[in-house]
């Protein structure tokens, strides 16, 4: 195992982590401000990827496609908030789970109705398809570095938004005391729509970016959604900082686990068994990590008020 390969896998983990952060930050923000658990967050990921694929194919411009994915998902999020979600804020979590579960079914089958069952074409544009040479003479895809860059920019942007702007102030107020901001005379329903649309837009951006790397198909948001849940539980639900830290942790642990666990077991087991055991354990690794963290910190690493 060379140092180059290790470095490369670390960057891979980092890239998975930043993508997860895009998903998890919206999820955690919505929970932090509105106290809402949203299972349909993965649907916005899918909507973003589909819109990006459709607009890129129609216009030939990837940038236009990604913007459509981001803004379109935000718009869809705003509509969903206005029509369905705002009726759920005062409901128990159970109702929220059920309603957003229903939204998943509606989004998935609706997308299939509109776009058909075949996966859509979406690829990285030529100007992002190059390589960067890492120390040790390994070539690393430029596009993955771009994803990391976008993720970091979003993290910085969110930090500035929340710490420096009026919207951010209200978000912080909402996080610490939900009744309070109503009493301050802030138009709560507009704030909620804005926050929800922001979360949906970020998920759409993640879908748009990752859509160029993977298959754009119905149900693509679900595996990512579950990972995002693990991320925000580890990080502490409602905490953006926790989402960032959790996302990077999950990304790196998952990637390194997949590579090194089978190698590790090959040290003392026959190769086929080592592969079996290693792969089985690798697929469970982040859940084990989560259980261990929660056993010591039941509210996650960066707990905010529940």
Partner 1 sequence: MKQLARLGLGLLLAGGLATAHAEEVKIGMITTLSGGGSHLGIDVRDAFLLAIEQSGRDDIEVLVQDDARKPDLARNLANEFMQRDDVDIMTGIIWSNLAMAVVPSVVRQGTFYLSPNAGPSDLAGRMCHENYFNVAYQNDNLHGAMGAWMREQGYENPIIMAPNYPAGTDALAGFKHLYEGEVAGELYTQMGQTDYAAEIAQIRASDADSLFFFLPGGMGISFMKQWQNAGVEMPVFGAAFSFDEILIKAVGEAAIGARNTSLWAYDLDNATNHAFVESFREAYGRTPTLYAAQGFDTANLILSALEKAHPDDQDAFREALREADFDSVRGEFRFGPNQHPIQDIYVREVVAGEDGEPTNRLLGIAVEDIQDIYHVDCKM
Partner 2 sequence: MTDQTPSGTLPGDLPARPPRRLGRRGTVQLVMLALLLVLPVAADLLGHPYYVTLASRLTLIAMAAVGLNLALGYGGMVSFGHAAYFGLGGYVAGIGAYHAFDATAFMGMFPGSDNLLVLWPIAMLACGLLALLIGAVSLRTSGVYFIMITLAFAQMVYYFANSWPTYGGQDGLPIYIRNQLPGLDTQDPLTFFLICFAGLVLAMALTSRLMGSRFGAALTMARLNDTRLATAGITPYPVRLVSFVISAMITGLAGALYADLNGFVSPSMLSWHMSGELMVIVILGGVGRLYGPLAGAVLYISMETLLGGLTEYWQLFLGLTLLGVVLFARHGVMGWLAGREPHG
Q: Helix or strand or coil: residue 132?
A: strand
What's the distance, CA 245 to chain centroid?
13
The yes or no reply on residue 258 touching partner 1 (CB under 8 A) is yes
Whole-angstrom Cα distance, residue 298 to residue 304? 12
* Count of CA atoms in the C-beta half-sphere (13 A) of 58: 10
Q: What is the CA radius of gyration of the chain?
A: 20
Closer to partner 1 by Cβ: residue 31 or 44: 44
- Vertex 137: Cα angle to 135 and 141 (nearest 5): 90
Q: Are 62 and 125 in contact (CB under 8 A)?
A: yes
Site for partner 1 in 212-231 (CB under 8 A): 212-220, 223-224
Q: Are 254 and 239 in contact (CB under 8 A)?
A: no
Sign for the CA dihedral angle at 130, 133, 139, 142 comes to negative
Whole-angstrom Cα distance, residue 247 to residue 235? 8
Binding partner selected for residue 295 from partner 1, partner 2, none, CB under the kind-specific 5 to 8 Å limit: partner 2
- For residue 254, the tally of other CB atoms under 10 A from its CB is 21
The yes or no reply on residue 275 touching partner 1 (CB under 8 A) is yes
The yes or no reply on residue 5 touching partner 1 (CB under 8 A) is yes
Print the binding letters for residues 260-299 with partner 2: x by CB under 8 A, - otherwise: ----------------x--xx--xx--xx-xx--xx--xx
Binding partner selected for residue 138 from partner 1, partner 2, none, CB under the kind-specific 5 to 8 Å limit: partner 1
The yes or no reply on residue 196 touching partner 2 (CB under 8 A) is no
The site for partner 2 (CB under 8 A) is made up of 31, 37, 84, 87-88, 91-95, 97-99, 101-106, 108-110, 112-113, 226, 229-230, 232-233, 237, 276, 279-280, 283-284, 287-288, 290-291, 294-295, 298-300, 306
The site for partner 1 (CB under 8 A) is made up of 2, 4-5, 8-9, 12, 15-16, 108-109, 112, 117-121, 123-124, 129, 131, 138-139, 141, 143-144, 210, 212-220, 223-224, 255, 258-259, 262, 271, 275-276, 279-280, 282-283
């Amino acid at each position: 195992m060379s140092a180059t390969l290790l470095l490369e896998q670390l960057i891979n983990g980092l890239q998975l982590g930043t993508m997860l952060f895009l998903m998890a930050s919206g999820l955690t923000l919505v929970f932090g401000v509105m106290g809402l658990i949203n299972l349909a967050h993965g649907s916005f990921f899918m909507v973003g990827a589909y819109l990006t694929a459709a607009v890129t194919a129609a216009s030939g411009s990837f940038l236009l496609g990604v913007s459509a994915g981001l803004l379109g998902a935000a718009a869809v999020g705003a509509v969903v908030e206005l029509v369905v979600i705002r009726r759920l804020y005062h409901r128990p979590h159970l109702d929220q789970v059920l309603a957003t579960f229903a939204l998943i079914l509606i989004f998935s089958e609706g997308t299939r109705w509109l776009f058909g069952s075949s996966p859509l074409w979406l690829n990285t544009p030529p100007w992002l398809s190059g390589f960067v040479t890492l120390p040790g003479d390994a070539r690393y895809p430029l596009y993955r570095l771009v994803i990391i860059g976008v993720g970091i920019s979003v993290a910085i942007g969110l930090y500035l938004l929340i710490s420096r702007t009026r919207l951010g102030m209200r978000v912080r107020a909402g996080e610490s005391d939900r009744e309070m901001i109503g009493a301050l005379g802030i138009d709560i329903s507009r704030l909620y729509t804005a926050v929800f649309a922001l979360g949906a837009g970020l998920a759409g951006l993640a879908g748009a970016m990752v859509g160029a790397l993977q298959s754009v198909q119905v149900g693509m948001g679900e595996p990512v959604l579950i990972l995002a849940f693990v991320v925000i539980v580890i990080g502490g639900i409602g905490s953006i900082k926790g989402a960032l830290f959790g996302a990077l942790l999950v990304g790196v642990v998952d990637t390194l686990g997949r590579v090194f666990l089978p190698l590790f077991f090959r040290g003392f087991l026959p190769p086929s068994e080592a592969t079996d055991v290693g792969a089985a354990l690798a697929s469970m690794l982040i859940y084990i990590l989560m259980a261990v963290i929660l056993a010591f910190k039941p509210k996650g690493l960066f707990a905010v008020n529940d």
